[in-house]
């Protein structure tokens, strides 16, 4: 409000009263704006409408301010509303300043913190419908905003908002929201109503956008991460989801075992306080079927709400029972899942069954959201001071097993990837130092320029968890019995995934350290003066540059063996590039973009090398929304690798037209997917190759329109056989290897198929592999590497028939296989192959039986895939 002339105090008060009451009456309810009740059967607001509604409230109310916090992959603005009293909204910078001060006990004393907690406002964040099919929360958000600005709450909204600033993100997956609404509306009233979309509900990640919360590959993740750990620093964060239809109506915390050990106990106390408050308020509103302490663990899986825990934020997950998008469902009492049909102390008021509608979800979510705000208001000062106290613990208290620091040496196999890892840490709010002089730590020598992450810092838990090796507790159904599987990852250790050296140092050490504000990118030296240059095969960015140059017609070779050149020991597989006029022109910008130094060479006649051609790449995309396919696309786009998506019809052709795949492609890649899904001949084939979470699977129900049914069929298999016969390369990632083995008869067998879970079990963990890095698929890899095992394979190869050959590229060692996570039955992996390069007739089938590009996180094993694309071939 801008006042242009002096007015009396009374006039000012009167004016304010008039304004406030005007503001309270002028607001448009969402029902009126949309033309239907929020959550009405078969009615959805899409992102455009949701955003427009928030913009309207922003104009109409002085209690809501709308911000744009980022942009989605498909360029939609991501909006966030701040809702509070007009007085609080006028001083948002002050409230942020206070939370920033409270986060750092090194600059804020206890007394100061007490005063700041008294003065400050609790900041709470609600994020909705990250999983776009779980659409209720995005709809609910409009009504929640309206109720808060107009005081339609079961507590004194005015009084509460005096103490609380509510941040509300109506959808942090706007692209997905739009896709889901479009698909739903297209088929409403048909037999496909409320069924699955044949593609991912996020351009790259689909359901996996909730595993991106440490890596921050996606712009949507970065937008909310900035709100959480850089800009606003809320003390409570609620992320609202949906679960299967036949169990509890709603899950809210407490969570179940196991907890990630390094998380502060006060986080759990806060989570339980807020969660129990929600259950209490839901009960008060007569909303039955609320469960706590089941299904969802306190182990970190890199999800949105749980990454908050590692930043001393009270992170809450809510999971409401789903309907069929916006179509109601009826559940017979006997259809209610076992365990949810009778009273238990964690489920005191069972839901009896009956009709279940989108509006029911909206009602539950309205109450739980408001309840959290109420609790924040009641405990505002505590929450703020506790946030400080947890930071103080993080900085001052030494926890059991806590190392002094992690050191990331300056000398690395792949420096640009090391810098990428530092960016990931920075995005998560981790403080990083750089050594200005050589130093010794933990008995080891480190060069100046090495990086140090001290654990004593406000976001200790996050830094520590990301850099340490995980040890998942050995949890069994009964002593000696089958394991209780984790909800998702048992491990994520970033340096292991990214192939970056990082040492844990137990004891304090002296070093000349300087805190870095931004990741220091070294100046790429002027280069490319000679007739040729060499790109280091150990560096992922070399592959990106090779692709860029090959695309422009550059002449490129790969070295066949280890070579010493100009004082450098070059590993086999380095790229040799002829420095033509066009290359000279393109090189500086590419080198700058990729932070890549090249090695100038005048004479390459002494190098044993084989030419490599620009590969025309096809990537199979099934109509089952395969997340691993999405992440593969992400990796390709991120490295500017051109490719074409291939659907069933592109591979199998039509009755009249049989495609000649070899005429159009050199390489065809199959992402991790179930063999039956790819072929699609078995009715009811399950999707996902095990890559899909149970939460995603529950939405896969009902018939799909005929054009999206089935797989590539036998015709597709035959077309692929013709492709390989004529010299094509087929690359099968993880589960897709089974497809290649079954359909082509590749000389390998998955020794894990049919093995009992009580004997062998390895849930998403990091394992040691031994690599032959003098064979093309192993080029650039270290001899010993770490692979992400996700329902992966352990291959027995055998002496093949005359038209086949096979080369084991990577295998599990004899023992000490587990690097991070959980592994039962190591002997089932010992000496088995993980990556096999097979040759059939003129072509190749490359079996990569691990998740080499897992969620675009495991940069350390990208090369298996990249080598399969840039396979050298003698003319």
Site of interaction with Zn ion (CB under 5 A): 131, 134, 241
Q: Which residues pair with 408 in a beta bridge?
A: 451
Q: Closest distance between Zn ion and the C-beta of residue 668, in Å?
A: 32
Q: Looking at beta carbons only, is 135 or 577 nearer to Zn ion?
A: 135
Q: Closest distance between Zn ion and the C-beta of residue 135, in Å?
A: 11
- Using CA of residue 717, residue 719, residue 725, residue 731, what is the dihedral sign? negative
Cα–Cα distance for residue pair 50/56, rounded to 1 Å:
10
Q: Where are the alpha helices (DSSP H) in 356-480?
A: 358-378, 380-396, 415-427, 460-467
C-alpha distances (whole Å) from 578 to each of 532, 543, 592, 866 are 5, 15, 19, 21
Q: Closest distance between Zn ion and the C-beta of residue 303, in Å?
A: 9
| Burial letters 451-483, b for 16+ CB under 10 A, else e | bbbbbbbbbbbbbbbbbbebebeeeeeeeeeeb
Q: Looking at beta carbons only, is 131 or 863 nearer to Zn ion?
A: 131
Q: Looking at beta carbons only, is 131 or 679 nearer to Zn ion?
A: 131
Cα 518 → chain centroid? 23
The number of residues in the chain equals 875
Q: Looking at beta carbons only, is 134 or 147 nearer to Zn ion?
A: 134
Q: Closest distance between Zn ion and the C-beta of residue 361, in Å?
A: 13
Q: Closest distance between Zn ion and the C-beta of residue 318, in Å?
A: 10
Q: Looking at beta carbons only, is 131 or 729 nearer to Zn ion?
A: 131
Residue showing the smallest CB distance to Zn ion in the complex: 241
- Using CA of residue 794, residue 799, residue 802, residue 807, what is the dihedral sign? positive
C-alpha distances (whole Å) from 875 to each of 413, 535, 572, 610, 611 are 31, 22, 19, 8, 7
Q: Looking at beta carbons only, is 206 or 483 nearer to Zn ion?
A: 206
Q: Looking at beta carbons only, is 134 or 281 nearer to Zn ion?
A: 134
804 within 8 A of 703, measured Cβ to Cβ: no
Q: Looking at beta carbons only, is 169 or 430 nearer to Zn ion?
A: 169
Cα–Cα distance for residue pair 285/296, rounded to 1 Å:
24
| Burial letters 83-114, b for 16+ CB under 10 A, else e | bbbbebbeebeebbebbebbbebeebeeeebe
Q: Looking at beta carbons only, is 337 or 714 nearer to Zn ion?
A: 337
Q: Closest distance between Zn ion and the C-beta of residue 390, in Å?
A: 27
- Cis, peptide link before residue 254, omega less than 30° from 0: yes
Query: HEC string of 54-88?
Result: HHHHHHHCCCEEEEEEEECCCCCEEEEEEECCHHH
Q: Looking at beta carbons only, is 241 or 806 nearer to Zn ion?
A: 241
Q: Closest distance between Zn ion and the C-beta of residue 129, in Å?
A: 8
Q: Looking at beta carbons only, is 43 or 131 nearer to Zn ion?
A: 131
- Cis, peptide link before residue 258, omega less than 30° from 0: yes
Q: Closest distance between Zn ion and the C-beta of residue 209, in Å?
A: 9
Give CB contacts under 8 A, 24+ apart, made by 180-183. 180/132, 180/133, 180/135, 180/325, 181/44, 181/45, 181/46, 181/47, 181/135, 182/46
Q: Closest distance between Zn ion and the C-beta of residue 241, in Å?
A: 3
Q: Looking at beta carbons only, is 130 or 847 nearer to Zn ion?
A: 130
Q: Looking at beta carbons only, is 176 or 821 nearer to Zn ion?
A: 176
Q: Closest distance between Zn ion and the C-beta of residue 691, in Å?
A: 16
Q: Closest distance between Zn ion and the C-beta of residue 180, in Å?
A: 13
Q: Closest distance between Zn ion and the C-beta of residue 672, in Å?
A: 21
Q: Looking at beta carbons only, is 322 or 540 nearer to Zn ion?
A: 322
Q: Closest distance between Zn ion and the C-beta of residue 695, in Å?
A: 6
Q: Where are the alpha helices (DSSP H) in 499-642?
A: 540-551, 581-594, 627-638
Give which of 176, 447, 144, 461 is closest to 318, Cα–Cα.
144
| Residue 640 CB-density burial (10 A; 0-12 exposed, 13-18 middle, 19+ buried) | middle
Cα–Cα distance for residue pair 845/825, rounded to 1 Å:
29
135 within 8 A of 44, measured Cβ to Cβ: yes
Q: Looking at beta carbons only, is 134 or 536 nearer to Zn ion?
A: 134
136 within 8 A of 179, measured Cβ to Cβ: no
Question: What one-character DSSP code corresponds to residue 784?
Answer: E
Q: Closest distance between Zn ion and the C-beta of residue 78, in Å?
A: 18
Q: Where are the alpha helices (DSSP H) in 121-197?
A: 136-150, 157-163, 174-187
Q: What angle do CA 166, 163, 19 make, to 5 degrees?
A: 80
Q: Closest distance between Zn ion and the C-beta of residue 654, in Å?
A: 38
């Amino acid at each position: 409000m801008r006042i242009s002339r002096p007015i009396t105090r009374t006039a000012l008060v009167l004016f304010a009263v008039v304004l406030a009451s005007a503001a309270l009456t002028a607001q448009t309810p969402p029902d009126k704006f949309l033309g239907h009740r929020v959550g009405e059967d078969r009615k959805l607001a899409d992102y455009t409408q949701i955003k427009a509604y928030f913009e309207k409230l922003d104009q109409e109310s002085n209690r809501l301010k709308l911000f744009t916090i980022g942009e989605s992959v498909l360029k939609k603005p991501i909006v966030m509303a701040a809702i509070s009293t007009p007085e609080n909204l006028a001083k948002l910078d002050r409230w942020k300043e206070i939370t920033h001060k409270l986060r750092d006990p090194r600059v804020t004393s206890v007394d100061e913190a007490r005063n700041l907690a008294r003065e400050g406002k609790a900041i709470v964040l609600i994020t909705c419908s990250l999983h776009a099919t779980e659409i209720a929360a995005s709809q609910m958000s409009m009504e929640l905003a309206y109720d808060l600005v107009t005081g339609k709450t079961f507590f004194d909204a005015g009084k509460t908002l005096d103490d609380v600033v509510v941040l509300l993100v109506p959808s942090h997956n706007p692209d997905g929201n739009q896709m889901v609404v479009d698909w739903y509306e297209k088929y409403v009233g048909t037999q496909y109503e409320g069924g699955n979309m044949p593609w991912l509900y996020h351009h790259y990640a689909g359901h996996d956008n909730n595993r991106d919360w440490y890596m921050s590959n996606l712009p949507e993740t970065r937008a909310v991460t900035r709100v959480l750990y850089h800009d606003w620093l809320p003390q409570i964060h609620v992320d609202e989801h949906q679960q299967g239809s036949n169990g509890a109506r709603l899950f809210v915390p407490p969570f179940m075992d196991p907890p990630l050990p390094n998380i502060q106990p006060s986080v759990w106390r806060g989570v339980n306080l807020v969660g129990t408050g929600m259950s209490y308020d839901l009960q008060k509103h007569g909303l039955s079927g609320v469960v706590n302490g089941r299904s969802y663990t306190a182990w970190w899986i890199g999800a949105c709400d749980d990454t908050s825990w590692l930043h001393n934020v009270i992170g809450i997950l809510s999971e409401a029972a789903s309907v069929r998008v916006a179509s109601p469902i009826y559940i017979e009492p006997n259809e209610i899942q076992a365990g949810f049909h009778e009273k238990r102390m964690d489920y005191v008021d069972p839901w009896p069954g009956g009709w279940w509608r989108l509006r029911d979800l909206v009602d539950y979510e309205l109450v739980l959201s408001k309840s959290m705000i109420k609790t924040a208001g009641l405990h505002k000062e505590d929450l703020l001071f506790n946030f400080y106290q947890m930071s103080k613990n993080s900085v001052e208290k030494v926890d059991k097993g806590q190392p002094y620091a992690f050191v990331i040496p300056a000398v690395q196999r792949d420096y640009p990837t090391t810098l990428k890892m530092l960016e990931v840490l920075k995005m998560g709010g981790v403080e990083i130092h750089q050594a200005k002089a050589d130093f010794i730590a933990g008995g080891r020598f480190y060069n100046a320029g090495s990086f140090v992450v001290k654990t004593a810092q406000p976001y200790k838990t996050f830094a520590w968890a990301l850099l340490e090796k995980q040890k998942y507790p050995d949890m069994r159904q009964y002593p000696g019995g089958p394991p209780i599987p984790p909800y998702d990852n048992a491990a994520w250790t970033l340096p292991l995934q990214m192939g970056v050296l990082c040492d844990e140092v137990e004891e304090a050490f002296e070093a000349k350290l300087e805190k870095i504000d931004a990741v220091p990118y070294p100046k790429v030296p002027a280069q490319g003066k000679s007739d040729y240059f060499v790109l280091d095969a150990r560096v992922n960015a070399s592959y990106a540059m090779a692709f860029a140059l090959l695309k422009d017609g550059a002449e490129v070779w790969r070295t066949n063996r280890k070579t010493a050149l100009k004082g450098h020991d070059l590993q086999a597989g380095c790229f040799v590039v002829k420095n033509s006029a066009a290359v000279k022109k393109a090189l500086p910008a590419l080198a700058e973009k990729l932070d890549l130094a090249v090695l100038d060479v005048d004479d390459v006649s002494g190098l044993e090398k084989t030419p490599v051609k620009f590969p025309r790449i096809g990537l199979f995309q099934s109509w089952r929304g395969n997340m691993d396919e999405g992440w593969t696309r992400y990796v390709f786009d991120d490295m500017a690798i051109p490719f074409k998506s291939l659907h069933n019809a592109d591979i199998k052709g039509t009755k009249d037209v049989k495609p000649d795949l070899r005429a159009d492609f050199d390489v065809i890649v199959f992402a991790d997917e179930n063999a039956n899904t790819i072929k699609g001949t078995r009715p009811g084939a399950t999707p996902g190759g095990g890559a899909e979470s149970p939460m995603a699977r529950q939405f896969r129900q009902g018939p799909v329109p005929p054009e999206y049914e089935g797989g590539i069929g036998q015709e597709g298999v035959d077309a692929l056989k013709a492709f390989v016969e004529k010299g094509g390369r087929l690359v099968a990632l993880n589960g897709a290897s089974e497809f290649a083995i079954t359909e082509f008869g590749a000389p390998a067998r998955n020794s894990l198929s049919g093995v009992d879970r009580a004997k062998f079990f390895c849930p998403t963990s990091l394992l040691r592999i031994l690599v032959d890095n003098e064979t093309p698929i192993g080029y650039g890899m270290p001899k010993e590497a770490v692979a992400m095992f996700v329902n992966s394979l352990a291959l027995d190869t055998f002496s093949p028939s005359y038209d086949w050959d096979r080369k084991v590229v990577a295998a599990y060692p004899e023992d000490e296989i587990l690097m991070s996570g959980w592994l039962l039955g190591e002997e089932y992996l010992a000496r088995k192959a993980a990556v096999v390069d097979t040759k059939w007739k003129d072509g190749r089938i490359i079996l990569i039986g691990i998740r080499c590009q897992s969620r675009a996180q495991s940069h350390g094993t990208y090369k298996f895939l990249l080598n399969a694309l840039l396979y050298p071939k003698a003319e």
